[in-house]
Amino acid sequence: MGKPLISRKKAPFLIFLTGTAIAICLFLVFSNENNPLFGDNAAKNSSENGHSRGFSVRSIFSRRDQTAIHGENSALGEGENKDGENPEMDEESIFLTEEELAAQAEIQALIAAQSGGAQEADAESAAQNSSQVQNQSGIQETANAQAGTLGIQGIGSAQPGTQGTESAQLGTQGSADGQTGGNPFLAHGPGAESGSLAEDHFTHENIIYDAFGNIIGGTALSYGSLNEHNILDIEHHLMVEEIPEIPPPPPPPPYVIPEHMILITRGAYVMGSPEEEADRLEDEIQHWVTVGAFYISKYEVTQREYEQIMGNNPSYSKDPSLPVENVSWFDAVEYCNRLSIREGLNPVYTITGAGLYQVVTWDHEANGYRLPIEAEWEYACRAGSTTTFNTGNSISRSRANYFGRGTTRVGSYPPNEWGLYDMHGNVSEWCWDWYEDYTLMTATSHTSAFSQLHRIFRGGNWLNTVMRLRSAFRDHFYPTHRSIGIGFRVALNHE
C-alpha cells in the first residue's frame, strides 16, 4: 500500500472546513433579497405570472367574480379582518394586488347599490354556491376562452383602460379611458353607464359604418342572467344591420311636349258644311261635336323624321324637309308606335295580322303618339272659323300648295290662326277613323260606330283642285293604299 494523501490527524480538520464552507454558501443563497424564488418577490412573481399558471385572476368569470355577481359574502366583499387575514380567501387571492382588490370591492358595492340592497345569503347558501362555482371552474375557463376567441371588448381586464381581445373579423378594439369594453359587471370607470347593473339582460353593439355613414354591420354582444351553473350566459353573433331598402327612383319628370306640338284646347263646333257651300258633298252633314284638349303637330311629318324612325323613305320626291308621302295608313300607325317608344312613351296602337287584314286597336289611356281623329283634324283646321277655308270663303295659291308641280317644304305657307301649317294642300293627311256617313256616327269626337273598308284622309294635296281643300271635305281609301299625295301628322293626348 502506498502512503495516504491525508493523515489521520488532519482528516477531522478538513471535514470541519468543508462543512463550514457549505454552510456559508447556503447562508449566502438564502439571505439574497434579489432571489426570485424566495422572500417578497415570490408573491410578486406569482401574481405577475398568474395567467401562465392557469389563474384567471382578472377574468369576470373567476370564482370570486361570480360570487360578487350574486351579491354573496365573498372574500372581496367582506374585506380582511382585524388581524389582516381573510378566512374565505382561497389560494388565488395571493396573486391579487391592492388595486385589484379595491376594484373588486367597488364592483360588489355597485352591484349592491343597483340591486336596491339585496339581502345577504346565509352561510349555508353561500357554501352551496361556492361549491357550485368550484365544480364549474372548467365551464368558467371555457367561457373565458370563447370570449377571447370572439373578440369581446374589455373581457379579461379588471383595470380601467385595459384593452381586450381584438376581433379577427371586425377589428373590434377593447375598452379605453376607464371603460370596460361593454361589460356591465365591470362598469366602474368614467365611461360606465348608470343603471346597467340592475338589468337582467345587457346588449352591447359595435356598429360599423361605411364611408358615407351608412350602417353596414357590426357585432352584438348580449349578457344574459346567470344560468343554472351560476355562469354568465354570453350570446355573441354577427350583427348585420338590415340595409334599408333603396327607395325607388323618383318618377321621371312629366314628358316635355316638343315645341312643334301645339295644344288645342277643349271646345265644341259645328262639323260639316252648310247646304249653300260651293262644291259641297252629301256626306258633309252639319252636326255639333265636342272635342277634348289634345296636342297636334304644327307640321306634317317630314321625310327626315320618317326615315329616322322607320329606317326608310318611301317618298317619290326625295328631300329631308319635304313632307313624307307614299305611305299607307298602316305605315302611319306603325310610325306613331315607334316614335312613342323612342320618346319613352307608351305605344297607343296594338297591331296584329298582316296586309289588308291587319287589326289595329287603340289604347285610349296610352300617352304615346297617334293619328288625329277626323273631328279633331277638322276642329284644328278651322281654328275657330266657320267658312269654307280657314282663310275665308276663298283661298289662293299664295296661302296653300294645290294643283301644282309637287310637294313643298313644310311651313312654306302661312299658318292658320292656331299656328298650324299646311292644313290646306301640300299632302292629304291620314286620320284614325273609318269612313262613315255622319248619320251613323256618334255625336262625340271619338270614332265611328261601324267599321267599313276605307280610312279617312283630309286636307287635299298638291294634285287637287280647291274643291278638295275645303275644311269640310272628306276623302277616303283602303288603309293599304299609298299615294304620292298622301302623308300625315301626329297627335298626343293632353291628359
CA distance 442 to 74: 101
> How much is the mean pLDDT over the chain?
72
Element at 204 (helix H, strand E): strand 202-209
Type of residue at 262:
I
Q: The C-alpha cell of 76 is what?
A: 372581496
Instruction: Dump pLDDT digits (tens) for 156-180.
Output: 333 433 344 333 333 334 333 434 4
142 pLDDT tier (thresholds 50, 70, 90): very low
What pLDDT is stored for residue 251 in this prediction?
A: 72
373 and 272 fall within a common domain: yes
What pLDDT is stored for residue 475 in this prediction?
A: 95
Q: Identify the residue with better confidence: 172 or 333.
A: 333
**Is there a domain that residue 47 lies in?**
no
**Is there a domain that residue 29 lies in?**
no
**Is there a domain that residue 216 lies in?**
yes
Mean pLDDT confidence for 186-209: 46
Angle of the 123-135 helix axis to the 137-150 helix axis, nearest 10: 60
What pLDDT is stored for residue 466 in this prediction?
A: 97
Mean pLDDT confidence for 425-442: 88
**Is there a domain that residue 204 lies in?**
yes
Q: The C-alpha cell of 117 is what?
A: 340592497
Range of the domain at 197: 63-79+95-154+175-239
What pLDDT is stored for residue 346 in this prediction?
A: 95
298 and 387 fall within a common domain: yes
The answer on pLDDT for 20 being more than 60 is yes
365 and 468 fall within a common domain: yes
106 pLDDT tier (thresholds 50, 70, 90): confident
318 and 455 fall within a common domain: yes
181 pLDDT tier (thresholds 50, 70, 90): very low
The answer on pLDDT for 298 being more than 60 is yes
Task: Please give the full DSSP string across 74-110, using - where no structure is assigned.
Answer: -HHHH---TTS--TT--GGGGG--HHHHHHHHHHHHH
265 and 234 fall within a common domain: no
**Which SS3 state, helix, strand or coil, does residue 143 take?**
helix
The answer on pLDDT for 107 being more than 80 is no
301 and 211 fall within a common domain: no
337 and 477 fall within a common domain: yes
Question: For the ranges 52-66, 119-133, 439-453, which has the lowest average pLDDT?
Answer: 52-66
| Edge-to-edge strand ranges of the sheet holding 486-487 | 475-477, 455-458, 428-434, 486-487
What pLDDT is stored for residue 207 in this prediction?
A: 59
The answer on pLDDT for 324 being more than 50 is yes
Instruction: Dump pLDDT digits (tens) for 385-400.
Output: 999 999 999 999 999 9
- Given 206, 239, 272, which residue is the final one in a domain? 239
235 and 313 fall within a common domain: no
372 pLDDT tier (thresholds 50, 70, 90): very high
CA distance 25 to 204: 60
The answer on pLDDT for 69 being more than 60 is no
What pLDDT is stored for residue 218 in this prediction?
A: 58
What pLDDT is stored for residue 456 in this prediction?
A: 96
**Is there a domain that residue 46 lies in?**
no
Mean pLDDT confidence for 140-165: 41
**Is there a domain that residue 433 lies in?**
yes
What pLDDT is stored for residue 311 in this prediction?
A: 97
Percent of the chain with pLDDT over 70: 53
Type of residue at 131:
S
Do the Cβ atoms of 227 and 244 come closer than 8 Å? no
**Is there a domain that residue 13 lies in?**
no
- Given 239, 270, 291, which residue is the final one in a domain? 239
The answer on pLDDT for 85 being more than 60 is no
71 and 194 fall within a common domain: yes
Count CB-CB contacts under 10 A for residue 156: 21
383 pLDDT tier (thresholds 50, 70, 90): very high
25 pLDDT tier (thresholds 50, 70, 90): confident
317 and 196 fall within a common domain: no
CA distance 418 to 489: 15
Strand residues in 378-441 grouped as ranges (E) = 428-434
**Is there a domain that residue 411 lies in?**
yes
What pLDDT is stored for residue 79 in this prediction?
A: 42
Do the Cβ atoms of 150 and 172 come closer than 8 Å? no
Number of structural domains, the chain? Answer: 2
What pLDDT is stored for residue 2 in this prediction?
A: 53
197 pLDDT tier (thresholds 50, 70, 90): very low
Q: The C-alpha cell of 412 is what?
A: 312654306
293 and 202 fall within a common domain: no
Instruction: Dump pLDDT digits (tens) for 232-279.
Output: 444 444 444 455 677 777 776 677 899 999 999 999 999 999 999 999
Mean pLDDT confidence for 306-330: 97
- Given 186, 209, 239, which residue is the final one in a domain? 239
270 and 136 fall within a common domain: no
> Which CATH number is 388's domain given?
3.90.1580.10
CA distance 334 to 340: 10
The vertex-377 CA angle with 376 and 378, nearest 5°, equals 95
